[in-house]
Amino acid sequence: MFSKATANFVHQIDPEGSLIHMSRVNDSHKLVPMALVVKRSRVWFWQRPKYQPTDFTLSDLLLGDEVLRPGVSETDFLTYSGTYGNQFSGSVNAGAGSVNVALEGSGTSHLQTCFGQLKKEELDVKKLLYDSRKRFVDMEHVLVQQIEKRAEVLAVVKERILTTASCSIKQTKKEQCIFQGLLGVLGLLGLLSNSIEVCVKDKGNREADSDVSVEIPSGTVVAYSIMDLEIKKDGRYGFDEMDLSPLAELPESTRRVFFEKLQETLKDRPGLTSLQFMLEELCNGETLTNENGEPSDGQKESLAAMLDQPGPDRDSGNGHCGASAQLNAAHLLVSAMEELPDETLNLLSTSSREDLKAFDMLICKLKESSKPLPADTVPVLLQDDQRFQLAERLLGSAKVTLRRDGGCLHAETKRDFGVLPLVLCLSLHGLAMLCSGPQ
């Protein structure tokens, strides 16, 4: 009953999206932001996966004693109530020899759901990745061992929809069944010289009514979405939603045009916000029409035509359902850049393609090593003092300090860094992808 109510809810508000309906009330307490869910594939490729909540969170899976504190945003979602009903009827007539049976049935069923005011909690993925950037997955953990044996996938709860007050689900059923039978036995065992007929008639009318009401407590999860967790053999991990590599798979001409558009937009904060909003609408599958059903302006259409490249990587489990990997990657890049300060945006807008690739290479080297970086491993372009000063300014605008000490290079983050270093890394890497193309 609960599962049917939540399935109706998801079908109504997010029919082609990434929301998963909650099947069991008893699992609600497990589905906190950052909780781990086992994703099981079905026998046939057209069947949706099954999801099994676990008692663990991502923090339990990582090596080290420090507990991850997920950043979670909370917003009002919507108020929901709905009534679903159907009628059914049928009859069966069967005969074999002297046996005749007739069966008729009919009934109605109504499911009334009132979830009331719902709220949404969403995990801050950027903060989570930054907080756990030096942590590794415990490859001996029972869940890791389990998914390796069963070829399953682990996923992390990204968002969840909850009730804010006690609510109810009510199901009413009315059923009627009519049975009529005739049984004739002729020449019973052949023991009697005369034919004997025994008739048994039975006519029954059965009616059954049921009226069940269930109270759902406040704070019950009715739907949620997940991100697949990619675990490498050395214990490093990441999320498909944070993958920018599809940008490099765009045609060279598309990469050039999109890069130029981005650099121009970086000089205009409202324009960057507008671009992010358009990409979000495209990723969510919103139509290219306005509220009057008329074609929208050509800007969104041209953006969709440029980035929404069809391919085999469309998957309702990752990112936005129905959107291509390229479109999702573009949305991630622009969303990251929108978080950057104006000073950082101005520096990025005036940096050359070669500068951006060198900055990205430097950051990658700094991330890969927990020790100071030898000066001779710094990208050749940045060994020039003027270019190195530009890199210092760029990272400094995102609260990362570059410091040269003898023959080594150090990177230090300020105490109140927040997510700025992470979104700068994403922004530089995405722009470098557009400049470089496939590797």
On whether both 167 and 262 belong to a single domain, the answer is: no
Residue 295 pLDDT exceeds 70: no
Percent of the chain with pLDDT over 90: 28
Average pLDDT over all residues of the chain:
79
Q: What is the pTM of this model?
A: 0.55
∠ CA 132-325-11, nearest 5°, is 90
Give the pLDDT mean for 71-87. 81
On whether both 424 and 309 belong to a single domain, the answer is: yes
- Which of 182, 198, 227 marks a domain boundary? 227
Answer with the residue of higher pLDDT: 41 or 360.
Answer: 360
How would you classify the pairing of strands 408-413 and 373-374? Answer: antiparallel
Query: How many structural domains does the chain have?
Result: 2
Q: Which residues of 123-156 are buried (b: 16+ CB within 10 A; e: fewer)?
A: bbbbbbbbbbeebbbeeebebbeebeeeebbbbb
For residues 231, 235, 241, 247, the Cα torsion angle rounded to the nearest 10 degrees is -100
- Ramachandran category for residue 129: left, alpha or beta (phi over 0 → left; psi -120 to 50 → alpha): alpha
On whether both 163 and 254 belong to a single domain, the answer is: no
Answer with the residue of higher pLDDT: 75 or 103.
Answer: 75
Give the residue from 60, 57, 29, 426 showing the smallest Cα distance to 245.
426
Residue 100 pLDDT exceeds 80: no
**Distant-in-sequence, close-in-space partners of 50: CB < 8 Å, separation ≥ 6:** 39, 40, 42
Q: Indicate the pLDDT class of residue 220, thresholds 50, 70 and 90.
A: very high
Q: How far is CA 359 from the centre of its chain?
A: 31
On whether both 251 and 388 belong to a single domain, the answer is: yes
Answer with the residue of higher pLDDT: 371 or 231.
Answer: 231
Asked if residue 198 belongs to a domain, the reply is no
pLDDT of residue 438: 56
Answer with the residue of higher pLDDT: 344 or 97.
Answer: 344
Asked if residue 232 belongs to a domain, the reply is no
Q: How many other CB atoms are there within 10 angstroms of residue 221's CB atom?
A: 21
Q: Which tokens go with 208? A: 């059954």
Report phi then psi at 396, rounded to 5.
Answer: -65, -35
* Distance from C-alpha of 1 to C-alpha of 23, rounded to nearest angstrom: 9
For residue range 374-430, what is the model confidence (pLDDT) as tens digits? 878 888 888 888 898 999 999 999 888 888 887 888 888 765 566 788 889 889 999
pLDDT of residue 191: 42
On whether both 127 and 255 belong to a single domain, the answer is: no
For residue range 229-251, what is the model confidence (pLDDT) as tens digits? 888 787 877 775 767 888 888 88
Q: Indicate the pLDDT class of residue 313, thresholds 50, 70 and 90.
A: very low
User: Residue 292 belongs to what domain range?
Assistant: 243-436
On whether both 127 and 67 belong to a single domain, the answer is: yes
For residue range 121-164, what is the model confidence (pLDDT) as tens digits? 998 887 888 788 778 899 999 989 888 887 788 899 999 999 99
Burial (Cβ within 10 Å: 0-12, 13-18, ≥19) of residue 323: buried
- Which of 227, 261, 290 marks a domain boundary? 227
On whether both 347 and 414 belong to a single domain, the answer is: yes
Give how far Cα 194 sits from Cα of 98, 182, 197, Å.
Answer: 18, 21, 10
Q: Where are the beta strands (DSSP E) in 220-305?
A: 221-231, 237-239
* Distance from C-alpha of 402 to C-alpha of 409, rounded to nearest angstrom: 7
Judged by average pLDDT, the poorest of 114-118, 171-175, 273-277, 328-332 is: 171-175
* Distance from C-alpha of 297 to C-alpha of 299, rounded to nearest angstrom: 6
Asked if residue 192 belongs to a domain, the reply is no
Asked if residue 185 belongs to a domain, the reply is no
Asked if residue 135 belongs to a domain, the reply is yes
Q: Indicate the pLDDT class of residue 320, thresholds 50, 70 and 90.
A: very low
Percent of the chain with pLDDT over 70: 74
pLDDT of residue 190: 44
On whether both 218 and 288 belong to a single domain, the answer is: no
Q: How many other CB atoms are there within 10 angstroms of residue 352's CB atom?
A: 11
Q: Indicate the pLDDT class of residue 21, thresholds 50, 70 and 90.
A: very high
* Distance from C-alpha of 298 to C-alpha of 272, rounded to nearest angstrom: 17
On whether both 392 and 422 belong to a single domain, the answer is: yes
pLDDT of residue 243: 73
Give the pLDDT mean for 27-44. 86
Answer with the residue of higher pLDDT: 325 or 121.
Answer: 121
Instruction: Read off the amino acid at residue 439.
Output: Q
On whether both 149 and 260 belong to a single domain, the answer is: no
For residue 416, give the DSSP letter.
Answer: T
Q: Which residue has the tokens 């306005």?
A: 290
pLDDT of residue 8: 86
Residue 185 pLDDT exceeds 50: no
**Number of residues that this document lists for the chain:** 439
Q: How many other CB atoms are there within 10 angstroms of residue 347's CB atom?
A: 22
On whether both 313 and 340 belong to a single domain, the answer is: yes
- Which of 187, 203, 227 marks a domain boundary? 227
Q: How far is CA 323 from the centre of its chain?
A: 12
Q: How many other CB atoms are there within 10 angstroms of residue 365's CB atom?
A: 16
Asked if residue 380 belongs to a domain, the reply is yes
On whether both 219 and 305 belong to a single domain, the answer is: no
Report phi then psi at 165, rounded to 5.
Answer: -150, 165
Report phi then psi at 351, rounded to 5.
Answer: -80, 140
Q: Where are the beta strands (DSSP E) in 143-196?
A: 153-163, 167-186
Give the pLDDT mean for 262-287. 86
Tell me the sheet residues that pair with 84. 111
Burial (Cβ within 10 Å: 0-12, 13-18, ≥19) of residue 330: buried
Asked if residue 196 belongs to a domain, the reply is no
pLDDT of residue 322: 45
Q: Indicate the pLDDT class of residue 92, thresholds 50, 70 and 90.
A: low
* Distance from C-alpha of 378 to C-alpha of 388, rounded to nearest angstrom: 10
Give the pLDDT mean for 264-278. 91
Asked if residue 195 belongs to a domain, the reply is no
Instruction: Read off the amino acid at residue 52.
Output: Q
Q: How far is CA 253 from the centre of its chain?
A: 31
Answer with the residue of higher pLDDT: 305 or 183.
Answer: 305
Give the pLDDT mean for 185-204. 44
* Distance from C-alpha of 82 to C-alpha of 114, rounded to nearest angstrom: 6
Residue 314 pLDDT exceeds 50: no
